[in-house]
Structure 1
Amino acid sequence: MDLISETIGSVRVGRVNGRRITEAGPYGLRLPATPLVGFHVMVSGEGWLISGDAAPVALRPGDVVFVAGGVEHGVARMPCTLAELPPVAMSEAPPAPAPTDFEFLCGMYPLLNGRKPAALRHLPDVMAFTPHYDRHPELRAVVDMLSDDYTNAGPGSGAARAALIDLMIVHILRHLHDRWPLTGEPGIGEALRAIHEQPARPWTVQQLGDLAGMSRSAFTRRFTAVTGTAPMGYLTDWRLDSGARLLRETTEPLTAIARRIGYATPFAFTAAFRRRYGLPPGRYRAAAVTPAKPN
């Protein structure tokens, strides 16, 4: 099971966005709570990540902020509260050359239903870390290519940008997997692997607990602690995430997709999908394949 590839597939929908943000002044900026998965990479200057009630985190060139839940957060010159930061003013045009206090690159995918993908729910909504660029020079190469694309957009830039943002998120998830391993948890990893590889099977909590080598109650407690979701809720989420991916990436009829992910009829799949995504599968598929020019 390649959880990272499956996670990327579950968020690769809608219009990818990326831009360079610069800031000069005594404060910083606040980014709104928007349902998305994305990142910021500090490329120059120093600042502080401000997020809710968490302590401010120092940011230096090369540091990465990963946003897994679309929560309100900010980047400030000095430690402060979110309320003290002015909202960011976005522009379609790249920033003009000018003195700045800090500068960072952003890349993001919208979450159409406003919820984290199942495989990311064990992660904090927003976090910062310092990558090991000497150990992973390919990450530095991706950052450099993104920076050049944001500054000197040309023919094919939209396709290149989407690919680079995908690649950046892959490297971020690889790094985070070392710190917050999901499938590495003894027993829980076996249950997750079974759900991901066989979503159509009519799993019960008892069956998954047996795979994990735990009692039903112990398995439920541990699974929920590790993933942030109860076992049956995670199974439903993964089935619908998989269904959404199949709608986007294949031309299979609803009946075939429903059976592949564990729904006996297309009507049951449609009802569950509408509850989750707010629109029926057919409309979702049509919206997902409509060409859109990336920012």
Structure 2
Amino acid sequence: MDVLSDAIVAMRTGRPHSSRTERHAPWGIRFPDTGGVGFHVVLQGSAWLMSDDPDTEPVRLGPGDIAFLAHGRGYALASEPGVALEEFTLQPDGSWPGPARDRTRPEPPSAVMLCGAYQLDRSRMHPLLAELPAVVHLPARFGAHRSLRTTVELLGAELEDPQPGSDAVVSTLLDTLLLYIMRAWWLSERHCDGHPAGWAAALADPSVATALRAVHDAPSHPWTVEELGVLSGLSRAPFARRFTATVGMPPLAYLTWWRMTTAGRLLRTDETPLRQVAERAGYSSEFAFAKAFKREYGVAPGQYRKLRADRLTAG
């Protein structure tokens, strides 16, 4: 399995939402804290993004710029700093408002944007996403991230002029956009000063990346540090040191974390019997699995599934 895709799939819940908006200056929108992540793409004009994160400076977004808000903190988007802010609210069904367009204004809008959000289960935040900055700014550069730009164009066209099948097309394009944004960030970190750090370094390191792929491919396999080291072309001790330094935890600790994350996703997304969930998480005994799961999540697997189902029904 692809580790980047896995990290996102493990956390995703619900359907993503998006809209195309046109704004006339002066304008400002205040987005509250959420449990998900959001993005904004400036198609025409410009905007300022102000994050609630105290360490993040206001960011000016120009045509083609993309901003990705990774941690669910509140922020504002405005024609310029200091303008009055309108509170953003979702539709009653949890979806984003429809296209904001004022056809009574004769002048062209000062900004045309694509905006959207994804729901995430932050109780199992993958470290790859956890280390992202509060605002990932991907400025428009000629020839850069062509697949990402193509996806933005397709999404904008579907939102501007919906056609039969647009609901499915938009949902798929939003999933694709999220992966392309993450890939663009990873590539930028990987090539920054030639010294990537954290998960950018982990995915760029052939030995560590090989071990990660093996764990993600077969979390139920009874992996040992020696076996992962052999796959990675390193002896036990050097492999363990390199893995821990880049990933942030020892190999077997990450294996256990990923097994429990995989089990949690299965329990909240389908009706796989607990015995099979235990097997896919690497446990031959349902009792041993339940004990490990409760240690990790604080509740038994069956109770976790029921709580998630009740929460979904209530929502």
Deviation by residue 1:30-64 (Cα, 9 ceiling, x = unmatched): 22221113422111211222222312222111111
Matches within 5 A, 1:64-103: 64-79=66-81, 85-90=85-90, 92-98=97-103, 99-103=108-112
Match of residue 245, structure 2, among 197, 200, 222: 222
Give 1:111's aligned amino acid: L
* Identity %, equivalent residues: 33
Q: What SS class does the counterpart of residue 165 from structure 1 fall into?
A: helix
SS at match of 2:131: coil
For 1:285 and 1:21, locate their aligned partners in 2 and report how far apart those are by CA, in whole Å. 33
TM-score (norm: length of structure 1): 0.75
Deviation at 1:21, TM superposition (A): 3.6
TM superposition score normalised by structure 2: 0.71
Unaligned runs of 5+ in 1: none
Where does residue 161 of structure 1 map in the other structure? 170
Out of 188, 205, 215, the residue aligned to residue 195 of structure 1 is 215
Structure with max Cα Rg? 2
The 2-side partners of 1:273 and 1:155 are apart by 44
CA distance change for structure 1 residues 216 and 6 in 2, over 3 Å: closer, same or farther?
A: closer
1:29-48 equivalence runs, <5 A:
29-48=29-48
- 1:125 & 1:206 partners in 2: Cα distance? 37
- Asked if the contact 1:146/1:164 (under 8 Å) is kept, the reply is yes
1:175 aligns with 2:184: yes
Amino acid at match of 2:113: F
TM-superposed CA distance for 1:271, in Å, is 2.2
The alignment yields a C-alpha RMSD, in angstroms, of 3.9
> Is 1:151 equivalent to 2:170 in the alignment?
no
Q: Using the alignment, how far apart are the partners of 2:238 and 2:298 within structure 1?
A: 32
What residue ranges of structure 2 are gaps of 5+ in the alignment? Answer: 92-96, 190-199
SS in 2 for 1:43: strand
Say which structure, 1 or 2, has more relative contact order (CA 8 Å, 6+ apart).
Answer: 1
Is it true that 1:243 corresponds to 2:263 in the alignment? yes
Change in 2 beyond 3 A, CA 1:278/1:88:
farther
In 2, distance between residues paired with 1:148 and 1:284?
A: 39
User: How far did 1:286 drift?
Assistant: 5.0
Question: CA 1:84 to 1:9, structure 2 compared with 1: closer, same or farther past 3 Å?
Answer: same
The residue type equivalent to 1:42 in the other structure is V
Q: Is the 8 A contact 1:35 1:111 kept in 2?
A: yes
Letter in 1 for 2:274: L
2:298 to 252, 275, 286: 275
Quote the Cα distance in structure 1 between the aligned partners of 2:110 and 2:204.
41
User: Would the aligned equivalents of 1:121 and 1:229 in 2 still touch at CA under 8 Å?
Assistant: no
Query: Mean alpha-carbon deviation: is it higher for 102-111 or for 113-122?
Result: 113-122
1:128 partnered with 2:137? yes
